[in-house]
Structure 1
Amino acid sequence: MFAGDEKANSIEALTRFAQAIDQVPLVAVQGFDRDGIIRVWNDVSEKLYGISRSEALGRHIRDVLVSCRHHPGWEDEVARIWQAGKPAVPRDMQVATPAGGHVWVCSTMFPIREGEQTTGIYCIDIDITERKQRERDLLDKESRIRELFTKSADAIIMMREGQIQEFNPAALRLFGYGQDTNGLKGAVPYQISPKYQPDGRLSQEKMEEMHAIALKHGSHRFEWQYCTLDKRTFWGEVTLTVLDGSSDAFMYAIVRDITDRKRAEHELRLSAQVFEGSREGIAILDAKWCMMRVNAAFTELTGLQEQDIAGGGRDILRSDVHEPDFYERIKETVQRHGHWQGEIWGRRRNGESFPAWASVSAVRSSDQRIVNYIVIFSDISERKAAEERIRHLSEHDFLTGLPNRVLLLDRMHQAIASARRNRGKLAVLFLDLDRFKNINDSLGHHIGDNLLQALAERLKKCVRSNDTVSRQGGDEFVVMLSNIGDSGQVAHIAGNILHATGMPFYIESHTLTITTCVGISMYPDDGNDVDTLIKNADTAMYHAKESGRNNYQFFDHDMNVRMVERLTLEHELRVALDQNQLVLEYQPELDIGSGRIIGVEALLRWQHPEAGLLAPARFLHAAEASGLIVPIGDWVLQNACRQAKAWYDEGKPMRVGVNLSVIQFRQKDFLQKVRKTLEQTGLPPRYLELEITESVLLDASSSTMATMRALRDMGVALAVDDFGTGYSSLSYLKHFPVDKLKIDQSFVRDLADDVNDAAIIRAILIMAKSLKLKVIAEGVETMAQLDFLREQGCDEFQGHYVTQAVRPAELARFLQ
């Protein structure tokens, strides 16, 4: 405590100090003595704290400014001032006012000294409330900026002198650095991008250009392609801002990943290019099916311009080909399922309809409402035409243009169904040309093709418009007469066909005459289905051929029985070949003067396991019809030559005669087979005689002549079998290299009773002698026949008068 004088001096000193600084503006001054009693309270303090001087003077400092003076350490600071006499360190303090407010002050306490004695303490408070508010605002702003920097979804990069100084977490994530904060620090921006940007320029060169633009204008926005740490590239939208324009410019860049946007833009550009560049017509319709936009292909395909369809309804492309509900069904399907596609007929601007393949799709909004329809279509006129051509080719014969088997069967199914419903009839006519192969072989296939085309035109004129003429292949035709009357009407049409076919054909420089055989089956009498009717007509056709050709035959069930027998026979013949059921017998050929055996004729027999030994007349026709005659003929040639070689080796050389069918003779490899057989068996060619029929001589082609000459050159003899029974002219003989004529046994058989047969034989012998040909008579059974032939100068004979055909073992005994 102060002594009385000291206290008075302290108060006086405080008073003088207060009077001295009372006029100092903005500075609040308070002074208190050792007892803490306020002795100084200037006007600024009244205004700052809201306490008048009268209220403050004489009161303890703690009671007046309780909240601030109880600031931690204040008591200790006062004690140090009293003790050491040194001012306190200035500090910022928040002071509560009686009115309930707060003010911030920068407060400093100084000692008041009288000589060596501290007599009082004064406080100088400067109001810093406004400054504190500004600092608080600045801190708040900085905090928000830092939070924005840290939490921003876009990458933010701070740069100075072109190097990255600071970056936010989004930058680390975007560039693939994770938590590695050292990865970007100090990097140059172009180092985290591909070497070349998409425009082809170096990244460094282009980035320097971007920085220059930003320095010039303060900021610059551009797009840049970056590369992440794991080498993934992405597109970024960069906003580069310069904070100061000095040489070491401070910049910050905001990088936003716009890869999805770029992809979307690319897809939009592609879509636009597809829309405009597509060769398919595209139309965009609104929810009410009114057209909004069309592409160029749409205009090209329909002739409709953009202005023609603006706001147009869906009727604009409707064709009269479809029923009205067809379009309604499309609309319902699209609304229900979102899509429809199929074939449709559109309409061009000129009213022309055209086929199109169309696809209609619904475009829905996020709430699944249909907002648009997209129609894509293409003109399929050419495809439809191609399909029609293909269909026509698949159903029609390429050569004649007639329906083929496929179309015939379809029409027959329909015709049978109609006849069944209406209790009607129909007829099937099966045609096969007689000896058509001769024309192909002699004149060439192009002549044969022209002939078939001409015949097809004639056949179409023989029938009605609702009938069908079909080519099955080769020289076979089928005619279906639908809704026909009785068999008499069918016979009349069949007669017309025979007449039309028999009329001469003028093909190039050739005049050709052909005949045909027609087999006829009727529905329902001869069958209730397609296969049966065609099969029975085919059977009747074969019967017509067997009956003399150039005629027609109606099917009857006996024909079917015979056809089954023939098919059975063909099957058994194949088995006979496989199981060696065929055998050869040999009939001697003798010199008519000396009676010496000069050769044998190999005659084929079939040792049937059930029917016994069968002569060729029982099975050769079936063999020729089935094509088995070729392998059978090869077998005969092989075995006859092998037997002749055996006799040759035994010292009994004999010429062996082998009969050839026309089919066998015309095989392309026939000469090769003969040559190979002779080589394999070792038989000298002069001991082989091939017997051909007169039908071979009818073919005066160069190939036939060449084959015969080749055989002659080979050393093989040629004989004409059954001479006189065919249709060949005798003058043909002078052109062919034949060695012998065989008089058919039909002329020898009735020699004694028929003067005509005798005259024919005389004529043959005279003609043969003039041509220097040998003559042998077949079927000699009596001495009278033999004497007649000897008197007329016949060279050789064979027949039962000497012996019938026998097996090789029996022939050996006969020779002995």
Structure 2
Amino acid sequence: MSDSPQDTTGSPDRQRLSAEADSPAAPGDDALAVDGPGGEALDWLYRFVAAIELAPAVAVHSMDESGVIHYWNQACAHLFGIPARDALGRPFRELVSHIGHQTEFDAIIADIWQGGAAPPPRDWYVETASGRCLWVHSNHFAVRRGGVTRQVFCMEIDITARKQLETDLAQAARVFENAHEAIIMMDAEYRVQAVNRAFTTITGFEPGDIVGSTLASLPWGDGDAGFYQSIWSQVDGQDHWEGELPARRKDGASYTAWVALTTIRDTYGEPANHMVMLSDISERKRVEEQVRHQAEHDALTGLPNRTLFLDRMHHALATWRRQHDSFAVLFLDLDRFKEVNDNNGHQAGDAVLREVATRLRGCVRRVDTISRLGGDEFVMLLADIGGVDQAAHVAAAVMAAVSRPIEVARQQLTLSASIGVAICPTDGGDVDTLMHHADVAMYHAKAQGRSSFRFFSPEMNARVVERGELDKRLRQALERQEFVLEYQPELDVGSGRVIGMEALIRWRHPDRGLLLPHDFLQVAEECGLIVPIGEWVLREACTQARAWRDAGHEATVAVNLSDVQFLHGRLLDTVDDALAQSGLAPHCLDLEITEGALMQGDAGLDGTVAALRGRGVQLTVDRFGTGVASLSSLRRFPLSKLKIDRSFVSDIEHDPDDAALIPAIIAVARSLRLRVVAEGVETAEQLRFLRQHGCDEYQGFYGGGASSRPDFKPAAR
């Protein structure tokens, strides 16, 4: 062909084609050749050009040795987005770039010009001058005349869609094989066609074990035909089903599978395939179960916690409403468990709680529930009891189980329990009422000596309500300063001179008048108010004692400390503050404590007593003889006095045994170098007896009763 450009319509030039057909190609040339007379060749060439011009799917173009385009058919213009008028006369590489392989393409074209041999067909990824990227399948061949290559023709087909499909298929195949979930491909009749590697990893089954099987024969589900029928029904209606199934591996091991089944429809909307995605969720189920168990169970004992217990209470109430089956609630508290922690450490306390939980499990049936509410409190739900006798039997069994010695850290500890019992529906028909009434009954079991169980009664509840009201009023009394102090003289036995005053608290109740300590101090101790009340007493007494001394009365002031206050960690700070605020000298303050407080204290108590005595504060053992202190234990503490309990003094004239005890107590005090105070002296005979046996001081109505304005005159002898 000549180098002159073709017309813009792409129609061939007859003269140009005729000139190029003058000489036949050499025989055997691997090229498009023209031979025979000129007219016949020209007609053939016209037909060839017309054919390729009108070919709708084949892009044809030709180029000379410099790469300039000489022919560009309509399909070529459509494929590359470049019309013939813009392509003819321009180098092909300016129109189409072979992405990443331009040098290789140029070398192939150069080989055709040099040798004339047509290279094998090739796929190329190209970018056109118009910015379009596509895949083409190219055939290049030479047009030769007289053994010389005159033109290079290229026939190209757009294979972009095919390449994209191949890419998609390859990607899908990679996803199929590399997915972490097992994938099963099935035909329209649910017969397995293929499985991926994850299926073998999860189930242990090789493709040969499973291909050709039906869905219903796969190792999952319960094997019930109705089960699979429900799956088919949902898939037919919604093209999808998913759910959790029990499954087995090839080795017989069980696991939990999450299965999702989806229908794949063809272009006509008909089911063509089914795909199953399978995941092993056994570990997830285990973690979920562990988290749920932790959320619903006590970490220390493994028993259900309050949340789970209340849920089961609601279930029990629902059952009772339907079937009228009674059930019982047992509220259990370990007696004096604090002493276990204080004396043996919290690790020992935890070991005791775990052992108690184990023993409680052995006292009930599997349908019953035991819960640890916190600390040393447990609650039990006895389902479907035949009557109160069964509840009483379980309560007795629990008490016996708890009372058996528990070995902890190579020592045996003995505990007891107080239990309250409430019955549904007799004692309540809702969760809160039953729990409250069981708690009330337990409180009464403790109040009546511990180590027992009590059934709830309305009378109990009335007393608890009264106690709750007293608790509230005590808090208000402290805020409103309704407490007052009266003072009882302490007199020298020999001279009758007042040498001290004991501060006694009273409560001026706005409705009930003046209340004595036994009317409210026990409740104050139980509700946690005994420490702030005791701190108020200490400050008030020290202030009053300083006022007396400023008025010329050389008297000490005695303040009773409850066991809780004496063992409280802030005692030293409280004493220091009271002395500093009042300006009272420490030796003028006498703190009265019980034998029980001395026995309950841990190793730190020695330091507290030593610190108080080091400050100069006096310490008196109150109500000596009614506790459990031994002579050896008293030797540990630098005390000041022993106070003989009034119960011994009152029977001096009538009970020889009590009378004989007083000289013994005085002898113990002398051996410990302690002064002796007798309380409750009401007659001259009692005072004479005490003086005769060497008692140092006394208190009582004979020497002057308690008063807010004590008389410092000597008592009558």
TM bracket, shorter-chain basis: 0.7 to 0.9
**Aligned counterparts of 1:502 and 1:418: Cα–Cα separation in 2:** 34
Partner of residue 30, structure 2: none
Structure with more contact order per residue of length (Cα contacts < 8 Å, sep ≥ 6): 2
Partner of residue 140, structure 2: 241
Q: Deviations along 1:20-56, whole A, 9 cap, x unmatched?
A: xxxxxxxxxxxxxxxxxxxxxxxxxxxxxxxxxxxxx
Partner of residue 282, structure 2: 381
Partner of residue 701, structure 1: 602
- Please give the TM-score of this superposition, normalised by the length of structure 1: 0.71
**Aligned counterparts of 2:61 and 2:622: Cα–Cα separation in 1:** 114
**Given the alignment, which residue of 448, 454, 459 partners 1:558?**
459
AA of the residue aligned to 1:768:
A
AA of the residue aligned to 2:288:
E
Whether 1:218 and 2:87 are equivalent positions in the alignment is no
Partner of residue 297, structure 2: 396
AA of the residue aligned to 2:596:
S
Kept in 2, the 8 Å contact 1:214–1:220? The answer is no
**Aligned counterparts of 1:210 and 1:603: Cα–Cα separation in 2:** 118
**Aligned counterparts of 1:658 and 1:177: Cα–Cα separation in 2:** 112
**Given the alignment, which residue of 455, 459, 475 partners 1:574?**
475
Partner of residue 629, structure 1: 530
Structure 1 residue 334 displacement after superposition? 1.7
Structure 1 residue 618 displacement after superposition? 2.1
Kept in 2, the 8 Å contact 1:708–1:736? The answer is yes
Partner of residue 328, structure 2: 427
Partner of residue 307, structure 1: 208
Kept in 2, the 8 Å contact 1:221–1:237? The answer is no
Partner of residue 481, structure 1: 382
Query: Which 10-residue stretch deviates more, 151-160 or 760-769?
Result: 151-160
**Given the alignment, which residue of 181, 195, 206 partners 1:294?**
195
Aligned-partner SS, 2:428 = coil
Partner of residue 354, structure 1: 255
Aligned ranges 1:132-211 → 2 under 5 Å: 161=66, 197=100
Provide closer, same or farther for how the CA distance between residues 503 and 224 of structure 1 changes in structure 2, counting only shifts above 3 A. same
Q: Deviations along 1:117-163, whole A, 9 cap, x unmatched?
A: xxxxxxxxxxxxx9999879867875776677xx9897979686468
Kept in 2, the 8 Å contact 1:470–1:477? The answer is yes
Provide closer, same or farther for how the CA distance between residues 247 and 157 of structure 1 changes in structure 2, counting only shifts above 3 A. closer
Whether 1:690 and 2:591 are equivalent positions in the alignment is yes
Kept in 2, the 8 Å contact 1:581–1:606? The answer is yes
Structure 1 residue 311 displacement after superposition? 1.7
Structure 1 residue 559 displacement after superposition? 0.1
**Aligned counterparts of 2:127 and 2:310: Cα–Cα separation in 1:** 71
Whether 1:527 and 2:403 are equivalent positions in the alignment is no
AA of the residue aligned to 2:191:
C
Query: Which 10-residue stretch deviates more, 423-432 or 207-216?
Result: 207-216
Provide closer, same or farther for how the CA distance between residues 339 and 320 of structure 1 changes in structure 2, counting only shifts above 3 A. closer
Structure 1 residue 765 displacement after superposition? 1.8
Provide closer, same or farther for how the CA distance between residues 181 and 555 of structure 1 changes in structure 2, counting only shifts above 3 A. same
Structure 1 residue 596 displacement after superposition? 4.3
Partner of residue 357, structure 2: 456
Partner of residue 512, structure 1: 413
Structure 1 residue 732 displacement after superposition? 1.5
Structure 1 residue 519 displacement after superposition? 1.5
AA of the residue aligned to 2:533:
I
Kept in 1, the 8 Å contact 2:58–2:75? The answer is yes
RMSD of aligned residue pairs (Cα, Å) = 4.3
AA of the residue aligned to 2:140:
T
Structure 1 residue 702 displacement after superposition? 1.5
Structure 1 residue 512 displacement after superposition? 1.4
Aligned ranges 1:679-758 → 2 under 5 Å: 684-699=585-600, 701-758=602-659
**Given the alignment, which residue of 268, 272, 290 partners 1:367?**
268
**Given the alignment, which residue of 370, 384, 387 partners 1:469?**
370
Kept in 1, the 8 Å contact 2:494–2:696? The answer is yes
Q: Deviations along 1:566-620, whole A, 9 cap, x unmatched?
A: 1222222233333433444444434444444444433333333333333332222
Provide closer, same or farther for how the CA distance between residues 656 and 351 of structure 1 changes in structure 2, counting only shifts above 3 A. same
Provide closer, same or farther for how the CA distance between residues 654 and 384 of structure 1 changes in structure 2, counting only shifts above 3 A. farther
Provide closer, same or farther for how the CA distance between residues 499 and 224 of structure 1 changes in structure 2, counting only shifts above 3 A. same
Q: Deviations along 1:302-353, whole A, 9 cap, x unmatched?
A: 3322122222112222556464322211221122112222211223345554
Kept in 2, the 8 Å contact 1:286–1:373? The answer is yes
Partner of residue 663, structure 2: 762
Kept in 2, the 8 Å contact 1:157–1:254? The answer is no
Structure 1 residue 256 displacement after superposition? 4.7
AA of the residue aligned to 1:241:
H
Whether 1:332 and 2:233 are equivalent positions in the alignment is yes
Kept in 2, the 8 Å contact 1:161–1:248? The answer is no
AA of the residue aligned to 1:364:
R
**Given the alignment, which residue of 166, 170, 182 partners 1:281?**
182
**Aligned counterparts of 1:658 and 1:212: Cα–Cα separation in 2:** 119
AA of the residue aligned to 2:378:
F
Aligned ranges 1:537-552 → 2 under 5 Å: 537-552=438-453
Whether 1:440 and 2:341 are equivalent positions in the alignment is yes
AA of the residue aligned to 2:357:
A
Provide closer, same or farther for how the CA distance between residues 498 and 211 of structure 1 changes in structure 2, counting only shifts above 3 A. same
Aligned-partner SS, 2:194 = strand
Structure 1 residue 358 displacement after superposition? 1.2
Kept in 1, the 8 Å contact 2:60–2:154? The answer is no
List runs of 5+ in structure 2 lacking aligned partners: 1-36
AA of the residue aligned to 1:363:
I
Structure 1 residue 443 displacement after superposition? 0.5
Structure 1 residue 792 displacement after superposition? 2.8
Aligned-partner SS, 2:200 = helix
Provide closer, same or farther for how the CA distance between residues 154 and 626 of structure 1 changes in structure 2, counting only shifts above 3 A. farther
Provide closer, same or farther for how the CA distance between residues 690 and 510 of structure 1 changes in structure 2, counting only shifts above 3 A. same
Kept in 2, the 8 Å contact 1:159–1:252? The answer is no
Provide closer, same or farther for how the CA distance between residues 131 and 244 of structure 1 changes in structure 2, counting only shifts above 3 A. closer
Q: Deviations along 1:622-681, whole A, 9 cap, x unmatched?
A: 222222333333444444445556666777675443333333344444444544555566
Query: Which 10-residue stretch deviates more, 531-540 or 157-166?
Result: 157-166
Kept in 1, the 8 Å contact 2:501–2:557? The answer is yes
Whether 1:502 and 2:416 are equivalent positions in the alignment is no
**Aligned counterparts of 2:557 and 2:653: Cα–Cα separation in 1:** 30
Structure having the higher Rg: 1
Aligned-partner SS, 2:673 = coil
- Please give the TM-score of this superposition, normalised by the length of structure 2: 0.80
**Aligned counterparts of 2:40 and 2:70: Cα–Cα separation in 1:** 31
**Aligned counterparts of 1:645 and 1:167: Cα–Cα separation in 2:** 123
Structure 1 residue 557 displacement after superposition? 0.7
**Aligned counterparts of 2:112 and 2:615: Cα–Cα separation in 1:** 107
Partner of residue 615, structure 1: 516
**Given the alignment, which residue of 487, 493, 496 partners 2:394?**
493
Structure 1 residue 543 displacement after superposition? 0.7
Partner of residue 268, structure 1: 169
Partner of residue 679, structure 2: 778
Structure 1 residue 691 displacement after superposition? 3.0
Q: Deviations along 1:49-72, whole A, 9 cap, x unmatched?
A: xxxxxxxxxxxxxxxxxxxxxxxx
**Aligned counterparts of 1:599 and 1:300: Cα–Cα separation in 2:** 90
Aligned-partner SS, 1:518 = strand
AA of the residue aligned to 1:658:
V
Identity of aligned residues (%): 43
AA of the residue aligned to 1:315:
A
Kept in 2, the 8 Å contact 1:219–1:239? The answer is no
Provide closer, same or farther for how the CA distance between residues 300 and 133 of structure 1 changes in structure 2, counting only shifts above 3 A. closer
Partner of residue 122, structure 1: none
**Aligned counterparts of 2:487 and 2:63: Cα–Cα separation in 1:** 120
Kept in 2, the 8 Å contact 1:159–1:251? The answer is no
Aligned-partner SS, 2:383 = strand
Aligned-partner SS, 1:483 = coil
